[in-house]
Chains A and B, each alone.
Chain A
Amino acid sequence: MPDKIKADIKFANFEYQGWFSEPIFEPVRLFGSIGAVYTALKPLNISASDVKYQSGASTPTDTLVSLQLAKKNYTVNLALAGFSFKADFVDWSQAPIISEIIENTAKALNDNLKNTMGAHQLQINMQVVLPGVSMKEFTRSFLPLIKRPAGDVEFNGFILHTKTGVFLVDKSVIHEEGMYVRITRKFDGKANIAEMSKALYNEEAWLAASLGIEMEGIEMQ
């Protein structure tokens, strides 16, 4: 079996979206819950200046309030339909603290709004470079039998839809010969963050194994 290609992850970002079973339509109720979320995030050194009120929300999914954490690397966005979490420059070592933030925010909102989560979505976005291997070379074996003039097409990625998510591998626009990878995984409202995190990890491990690449901190479980 050929050696796996060690991937160089140039950038990785994580996004979580959690949607309430029933969206709330009164902004005043959400504003009334900010204190509870703030208290839940207080152990993570949040201060009042980290809370930002957004203007111009026109739909229930638009952010009304953002809370920034960890030197602005983490952001929790609150909306009438649910909440989201975004983190830049992530790796899997940060999973425990990210899970804590998502879990505590969800609990604070649900307790305060007398609501439950109806659905969750977790997503990883990565800019990956395979040192010494061009994207064209790397994906040659995926090239389908499309009759085109020689040299006219290149196969530079794929989109794979599963019952619970999407894998997208694309040519990177940032890094020449690099690739952009997106892994999206959806869950129903009952799933807890520990099982969602584990499932997302396994999806990344599966993709890495399927492509024959090695990513730091990722091993098939």
Chain B
Amino acid sequence: MGTWSLNLPAMRPANRGLDAFWTGMDVEWPSTEAPPENQYEPREPVAPSKPSQTIQQLEERQSFHPKQRQINGAFDVLAGLYRVSDAKAVNRFLIHRRFVRELLFEAYPRIKRVFGERVHAELRLVEDMEDNLERLRVNIISNDAQARLALEQFDEEWWLDRVQDSEGLLDFTLKRDALRLE
């Protein structure tokens, strides 16, 4: 009886297949190590299909979207909803305050519902002179005569129930639009 052997084709590691499928990227697979002698029959190396990019190229491309991009992702979305005054400072403030970000995401559709679709909301970092603490202020910009009543409604319907979750680092106020004074 001859020696038992396996003649396995050189194949991509199966466990990488779905990952590559999801990323939609064609990746050059590292060559598999030659099996120990007398284990497998020697085989002809199978050349991988010509890759569009190697792992190194992929990583270099990723460096344009590094970890920072994931961290900034939530802020980027917020900046698409709110106007932001001094974006760098506001981003720095929000980066490690997930609970404030969550309140801002929750507040936005409520602001639009209560104050009207055309209203703008602005994020601005303010410093409390008494305790030297930075807080985030949401200025709801409106010249509407009913805006004060709307703010009361906003407070009663949502904000008063959630204010304790902000740990005193967030507030909502009205601001008149100086460019659109009627």
Contacts and interface: CB of A to CB of B under 8 A. Distances in A.
Interface of A: 8-12, 42-45, 69-71, 73-74, 87-97, 100, 125, 149, 152, 156-157, 168, 170-174, 180, 182, 216-217
Given A44-B81, A152-B35, A171 B16 contact: yes
Contacts of B18: 168, 170, 180, 182
Interface string B26-39: 01000000011001
A43 B81 CA distance: 9
Nearest to A216: B98
13 contacts: A12-B70, A73-B76, A87-B77, A90-B74, A93-B99, A93-B102, A95-B102, A97-B81, A149-B36, A168-B18, A173-B23, A173-B25, A180-B19
A10 B102 contact: no
Contact of A93 (B27, B98, B108): B98
B80 A70 contact: yes
Contacts of B36: 149
A112 B106 CA distance: 26
Interface stretch (B41-49, B55-63, B143-151, B166-174): B55-63
B50 interface: no
> Which among B15, B69, B74 has the highest number of chain A CB atoms within 10 Å?
B15
B5 to A, nearest CB: 13
B109 A90 contact: no
A95 B105 contact: yes
Q: SS class of chain A's interface: helix, strand, loop or mixed?
A: mixed
Contacts of A156: 13, 15
Given A93-B102, A96-B105, A125 B22 contact: yes
A182 B81 CA distance: 28
Nearest to A72: B80
Given A11-B70, A71-B80, A73-B73, A97 B109 contact: yes
Contact of B22 (A42, A97, A180): A180
B79 interface: yes
Nearest to A125: B22
Given A70-B80, A93-B105, A173-B58, 6 more contacts: A11-B65, A44-B81, A70-B77, A91-B73, A97-B106, A157-B15
Contact of B74 (A43, A93, A174): A93
A172 B16 CA distance: 7
Contacts of A95: 102, 105
> Which among A87, A94, A97, A100 has the highest number of chain B CB atoms within 10 Å?
A97
B135 interface: no
Contacts of B70: 9-12, 89
B23 A174 contact: yes
A12 B65 CA distance: 12
Contacts of A87: 77
Contacts of A43: 109, 112-113, 117
Given A70-B81, A89-B73, A125-B22, A174 B59 contact: yes
B67 interface: yes
B146 to A, nearest CB: 18
A96 B165 CA distance: 15
B175 interface: no
Contacts of B25: 173
